[in-house]
């Protein structure tokens, strides 16, 4: 075998080809983002010696780039939820999260997440994460105030609200502006720094796993200072290396629909290497086709009063859904163009507050004029808006079930934004596939038998978040931090049970 | 390791644990359906010694259960196409097939398929498959006459017809009734029988692959007469073991949307074992979420003149598409009910000719009455039908682009069939995911590096067919037989190149 093939993540190194260990530890963690940081803290606090290998020259990963909203609740409510008057119920949270994942749901994982969510809140607070006991009223994509709680998904929208009592579960760090991610990572990094049992190797690229003759993962190969190092991980390796949104070849292979978006969301390390390393030793990559594609037609929240139509002039989704759900349904239409129709009042300060950048492509002093300007079939948009306006008057959206608070007749003059993928608007996207794991973080083969010595968390694993149509902000960092902790604990338990 | 874990397809047997070979051959083939049979013939004709291991007590697989239409054309047309007046163009075939796969397309594989399709036709004819030089005019799901050629997909429908010149490519064996599958397999089995270099072991269950220390596939373990046998395959193993539609756990994990269908299409051996064996040695399973789900609202062809609506009374697809495309778009709507609206004339002899079994759930002497009977929003269906009828009068479906030949105003009295999944109608389904392979049939890892000694074909591989929205009849058996041949040739070439 040449040196080149040895360092391919798809070709694990055999332990019998390892003649000495350059580094030895109990638990080796690949990636120092939200998942890797939390895994390290828990593993260390469980008595393990830990080394984190981070590709970049500082920790953070995609968590640092995010707003770091954290999806938590249930069990009567977190301190913040209760202070804001929401007594969240575990079953409502469970039902909601099961609906967000649809048939792709991992029920055991969602159950574990919901039942331990209050404990997770407390764990974060105990480690220095602060949340203000205040509720952000405005419908927003990110919270630009230091309020501690907001709605971040489809909780109040059809069909979710009809099956699970709505409750806000997006917890926002106490910081002004969109600065939650850097603050969160600083707190986690401080915790890592304080623990002597954890050391961090930066600018260290994990190349491939090392397995023994029974396919047990016993370590990994990393490259530091252009030198390959064999790392012995006595208890296990935890892959927290992010997703694959930055690997164009993998996106094209597994989730090509996402390429209709134009701004990948992630950090440069999201090359799928963690997923590939896991697959190479028998781990199962699941949900690889799924992802999130955004259509951020708000803020301002007033735009929710507009309507989204396809090139038949038809509405096809309630416009009060979270932007990722709108993106998912938009991509599934047989339609060459999509327009967002609204009044001047509804448009408001869109140009300032949104980063969507969709262009106004038509205006009309009447619906008929707008319809004609857009080249839609005569009478199509007129009929859609006639029914919609009747419904607004009556206070019930009989067609798409948008909540009554957003119903306002569309009275000309009207404008149309072109929100067609590829026509100027910004469509951020990210992947939702990863290694199948048990709730403990153990990576499993297609028969769900654990690969000994291998764990995954965060976006390298396939967690509680499964679909773009159900995605809610705060679920990624919520899942990354929670699943990181589970894996850190489990990797230490493995060792403890052997001792 | 216990005997149980050794025989798990997800855990390959190490060659160093193999102490003797019970069977030795050049090429071992798992599965004797259309793919395995064609692979065996080509491998034998290339000078290899071949053993086929078939789970059942006779060959056939899913090919024998199918109509065995075979999708072929291009290069000026097959003999049958030309005799029927169609001078098929390779680029039109290529464009059409690329559209059927959309962003999931494997361009190299489709290119290879199209450019060699006439050669494949001749190969089949040379081996005794007979096609009559006659064209079946009627729009049909299966051809019940012995005509040799018919349209079997979306070639004439929007948006395909606008980008690739329509041409029928479904080749139907010369036999009356829906009997193409058994006849085709009989011909293939006769060819296998005639070749001394091929032997077949029936009631032989492939358990797992055998790999050497460099992860080269050197054989497999099969169970025959309750005894495990180690099989040495000097040139390679070809997995032709079908898909995973009969493995409920795998469908739930990888393609849970398909579970909205209620009749799995496949043979009992479609348990995914071939795919699992390939994954376990580093092969990549791709396209695992995709599948075909049928909504056979025709025959009779006259039903194409009706319209499909969601619970908003909206049309969302042109009704002249192939039934799999209609199923795919139906599942992607946010709608709790789906109805097929038609006149008594259009209904015709539906009860006799269709096996859909959807129930008439409402009738109306007027559209308003039908709308009310169905509980649709007042004016919604009326508006849809008003626009549709106007378009029919004008001869152009401006909304959904159904071809002019199917446009006929919907004049009451009208009836509505409930075609909602789970409400009585029959929704057949099958999977379209499998092992990623090169056009040669070599199984590849996620970096597209071949796994030495391993090939796959038919539904165990992920072939030219990638989506339900674009599926056309004849592509499965077309792909199975063609990819089987490629793998048989490649497995022999490997050996030849070593010799």
> What's the pLDDT band for A348 if we cut at 50, 70, 90?
confident
Q: What is the reported pLDDT for B292?
A: 95
B103/A447 CB distance under 8 A: no
Topology of the domain comprising A295-418:
Flavocytochrome C3; Chain A, domain 1 (3.90.700)
- Using CA atoms, how far residue A22 sits from A19, A222, A228, A376, in Å, is 10, 10, 9, 67
Q: What is the pLDDT of residues A21-80, one digit of tens each?
A: 999 999 999 999 999 999 999 999 999 999 999 999 999 999 999 999 999 999 999 999
pLDDT level of residue A209 (50, 70, 90 thresholds): very high
Instruction: For residue B370, give how far its alpha carbon lies from the nearest alpha carbon of chain A (Å).
Output: 17
Distance from CA of A39 to the nearest CA of B (A): 26
Contact: B447, A276; criterion CB under 8 Å: yes
Q: Do B259 and A290 touch (CB under 8 A)?
A: no
Q: Does A334 contact B329 at a Cβ distance shorter than 8 Å? A: yes
- Please answer yes or no on whether A314 and B314 come within 8 Å at the CB atom: yes
Reduced 3-state DSSP string for A311-322: CCCCCCCCCCCC
Say yes or no: A377 contacts chain B, CB-CB below 8 A: yes
CB of B62 closer than 8 Å to CB of B84: no
Residue B299 vs residues B141, B305, B424, B470: alpha-carbon distances, Å: 7, 11, 18, 19
The answer to whether the CB atoms of A8 and B399 lie below 8 A apart is no
DSSP category for residue B203: S
Phi, psi for residue A435 in degrees, rounded to 5? -75, 135
Q: Are B266 and B251 in contact (CB under 8 A)?
A: no
Shortest CB distance from B447 goes to which of A10, A252, A290?
A10
Residue A4: per-residue pLDDT: 42
Q: Is the pLDDT of residue B4 over 80?
A: no
Q: Provide the b/e sequence for B333-349 (b: ≥16 CB within 10 Å).
A: bbeebbbbbbbeebbbe
Name every chain A residue with its beta carbon within 8 A of the beta carbon of B334. 159, 316-317, 329, 400
A400 contacts in B (CB within 8 Å)?
312, 334
In A, which residues are within 8 Å of B213 by CB distance?
14
Whether the CB of B284 is below 8 Å from some CB of chain A: the reply is yes
Q: Give me the residue spans of the domains in chain A.
A: 3-65+181-292+428-498, 70-177, 295-418
For domain A3-65+181-292+428-498, give the CATH superfamily: FAD/NAD(P)-binding domain (3.50.50.60)
From the list B282, B289, B399, which residue is nearest A280 (CB)? B282
Inter-chain residue contact A312 with B400, CB threshold 8 Å = yes
Q: For residue range B173-193, what is the model confidence (pLDDT) as tens digits?
A: 999 999 999 999 999 999 999
The answer to whether B10 contacts chain A (CB < 8 Å) is yes
pLDDT band, very low/low/confident/very high, at A499 (cuts 50, 70, 90): very low
Three-state DSSP at A206 gives strand
Q: How much is the pTM?
A: 0.94
Q: Are strands B217-224 and B450-456 parallel, antiparallel or unpaired?
A: unpaired
Q: Using the structure block, give the residue that is written with the tokens 């291009």.
A: B74
The residue among B253, B276, B311, B334 with the most chain A CBs within 10 A of its CB, best to mutate, is B334
Judging contacts by C-beta atoms under 8 Å, the chain B residues touching residue A282 are 10-11, 279-280
pLDDT tier, A353 (very low <50, low <70, confident <90, very high otherwise)? confident
**At which residue do the structure tokens 């490997």 appear?**
B494
List pLDDT tens digits, range A159-203: 999 999 999 999 999 999 999 999 999 999 999 999 999 999 999
**Chain B contact for A383, CB < 8 A?**
yes
The pLDDT of residue A6 is 47
Q: What is the mean pLDDT of residues A1-24?
A: 79
Residue B139 tokens read as 């729009």
Residue A470's SS3 state is coil
Decide if pLDDT at A398 tops 70: yes
| A279 contact residues in B (CB cutoff 8 A) | 282, 284, 446
Q: Any chain B CB within 8 A of the CB of A254? A: yes
Query: Chain A: nearest CA to B449, how far in angstroms?
Result: 9
**pLDDT at A495 exceeding the cut of 90:** no
B400 contact A CB<8A: yes
CA–CA separation, A191 and A319 (whole Å):
42
Q: What is the pLDDT of residue A438?
A: 98
Average pLDDT, chain A: 94
Give the closest of A259, A377, A399 to B377, CB-based. A399
Contacts of B333 in chain A (CB under 8 A): 316, 332
Q: Which pLDDT score, from 0 to 100, does residue B2 have?
A: 36
Residue among B14, B290, B449 whose CB faces A213 most closely: B14
Q: Which residue in chain A is spatially nearest to B104 when comparing CA positions?
A: A256
Q: Is the pLDDT of residue B6 over 50?
A: no
B496 has pLDDT over 80: no
* Residue A285 near residue A293 (C-beta atoms within 8 A): no
Taking the Cβ of residue A289 and every Cβ of chain B, the question of whether any pair is shorter than 8 Å is answered with yes
Res A497: pLDDT: 54
Q: How confident is the model at residue A494 (pLDDT cuts 50, 70, 90)?
A: low
Q: What is the pLDDT of residue B424?
A: 81
Quick: pLDDT tens for B197-255: 999 999 999 999 999 988 999 999 999 999 999 999 999 999 999 999 999 999 999 99
Task: Give pLDDT, residue B351.
Answer: 81
With bands split at pLDDT 50, 70 and 90, how would you rate the model's confidence at B3?
Answer: very low
Q: Which residues pair with B319 in a beta bridge?
A: none
pLDDT at A1 over 70: no
pLDDT, tens only, A289-312: 999 999 888 888 999 999 999 999
Closest CA to B68 of B188, B180, B190: B180
Tell me whether residues B399 and A312 touch, CB distance under 8 A.
yes
Helix (H) or strand (E) holding B192: helix B180-194
Q: List, for residues B45-84, the tens digit of each pLDDT value.
A: 999 999 999 999 999 999 999 999 999 999 999 999 999 9
State the nearest Cα–Cα gap between B93 and chain A, in angstroms: 22
Whether the CB of B380 is below 8 Å from some CB of chain A: the reply is yes
pLDDT tens profile B264-289: 999 999 999 999 999 999 999 999 99
User: How many residue pairs bridge chain A and chain B with CB atoms within 8 Å of each other?
Assistant: 117
Closest residue in B to A280 (Cα–Cα): B282
pLDDT at A250 over 70: yes
Selecting from A213, A279, A316 the residue whose C-beta is nearest the C-beta of B334 gives: A316
Q: How many Cβ atoms are within 10 Å of A349's Cβ, its own excluded?
A: 10
Tokens 């597994």 correspond to what residue?
Answer: A254
Mean pLDDT of B142-146: 91
Mean pLDDT value across chain B:
94
Whether the predicted pLDDT of B486 surpasses 80: yes
Residue B425: predicted pLDDT: 84
Chain B positions touching A103 (Cβ under 8 A) are 252, 256-257, 259
3-state secondary structure of B210: strand
pLDDT (tens digit, 9 = 90+) per residue, B412-422? 999 999 999 98
Does the beta carbon of A197 lie under 8 angstroms from any beta carbon of chain B? Answer: no
Query: With an 8 Å Cβ cutoff, are B279 and A446 in contact?
Result: yes
Q: d(Cα B479, Cα B169) in Å, to the nearest integer?
A: 13
pLDDT the model gives residue B7: 67
Give residue A189's pLDDT: 98
**With left for phi above 0 and alpha for psi between -120 and 50, is residue A364 left, alpha or beta?**
beta
Neighbouring-strand partners of residue A24: A232
pLDDT of residue A2: 37
Residue B389's CB: how many other CB atoms inside 10 A?
16
Q: Which of residues 445-464 of A touch B (CB under 8 A)?
A: 445-447, 449
- At A176, is the secondary structure helix, strand, or coil? coil
- Is residue B5 pLDDT above 60, yes or no? no
Percent of chain A with pLDDT over 90: 88
Residues B10, A445: C-beta atoms closer than 8 Å: yes
Q: Which residues of A touch B104 (CB under 8 A)?
A: 256
Q: List the single best residue of B325, B337, B446, B460 to mutate versus A (max A Cβ within 10 A).
A: B446
Nearest to B344 by CA among B415, B407, B402: B415
> Band of the pLDDT at A354, cuts 50, 70, 90?
confident
């Amino acid at each position: 075998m040449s040196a080149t093939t040895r360092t391919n993540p798809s070709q694990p190194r055999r332990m019998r080809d390892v003649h000495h260990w350059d580094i030895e530890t109990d638990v080796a963690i690949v990636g120092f983002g939200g998942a890797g940081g939390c895994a390290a803290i828990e593993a260390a606090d469980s008595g393990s010696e830990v080394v984190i290998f981070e590709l970049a020259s500082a920790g953070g990963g995609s968590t640092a780039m995010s707003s770091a909203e954290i999806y938590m609740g249930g069990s009567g409510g977190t301190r913040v939820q209760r202070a804001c008057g929401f007594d969240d119920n575990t079953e409502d949270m469970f039902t909601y999260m099961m609906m967000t994942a649809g048939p792709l749901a991992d029920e055991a994982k969602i159950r574990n997440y919901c039942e331990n969510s209050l404990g997770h809140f407390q764990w974060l607070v105990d480690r220095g994460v602060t949340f203000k006991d205040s509720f952000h009223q405005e419908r927003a994509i990110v919270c630009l105030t230091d309020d501690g709680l907001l709605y971040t998904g489809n909780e109040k929208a059809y069909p979710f609200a009809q099956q699970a009592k709505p409750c806000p579960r997006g917890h926002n760090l106490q910081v002004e502006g969109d600065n939650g991610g850097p603050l969160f990572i600083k707190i986690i990094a401080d915790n890592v720094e304080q623990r002597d049992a954890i050391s961090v190797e930066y600018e260290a690229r994990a190349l491939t796993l090392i397995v023994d003759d029974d396919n047990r993962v016993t370590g990994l190969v990393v490259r530091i200072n252009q030198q390959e190092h064999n790392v012995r991980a006595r208890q296990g390796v935890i892959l927290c290396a992010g997703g694959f949104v930055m690997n164009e070849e993998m996106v094209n292979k597994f989730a090509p629909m996402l390429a209709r978006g134009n701004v990948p969301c992630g950090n440069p390390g999201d090359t799928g290497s963690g997923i590939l390393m896991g697959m190479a030793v028998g781990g199962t990559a699941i949900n690889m086709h799924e992802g999130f594609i955004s259509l951020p037609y708000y803020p301002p929240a007033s735009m929710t009063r507009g309507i989204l139509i396809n090139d038949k002039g038809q509405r096809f989704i309630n416009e009060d859904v979270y932007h990722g759900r709108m993106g998912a349904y938009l991509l599934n239409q047989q339609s060459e163009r999509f327009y967002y129709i609204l009044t001047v009042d509804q448009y408001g300060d869109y140009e300032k507050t949104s980063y969507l950048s969709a262009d106004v492509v038509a205006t009309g002093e009447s619906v008929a004029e707008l319809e004609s300007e857009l080249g839609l079939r005569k009478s199509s948009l007129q009929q859609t808006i006639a029914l919609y306006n009747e419904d607004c008057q009556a206070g019930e959206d009989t067609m798409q079930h948008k909540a009554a608070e957003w119903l306002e007749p569309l009275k000309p003059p009207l404008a149309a934004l072109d929100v067609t993928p590829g026509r100027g608007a910004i469509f951020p996207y990210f992947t939702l596939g990863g290694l199948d794991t048990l709730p403990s973080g153990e990576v499993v083969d297609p028969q769900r038998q654990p690969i000994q010595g291998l764990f995954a968390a965060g976006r390298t694993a396939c967690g509680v978040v499964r679909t773009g149509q159900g995605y809610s902000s705060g679920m990624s960092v919520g899942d990354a931090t929670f699943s990181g902790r589970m894996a850190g604990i489990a990797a230490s338990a493995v060792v403890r049970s052997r001792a």
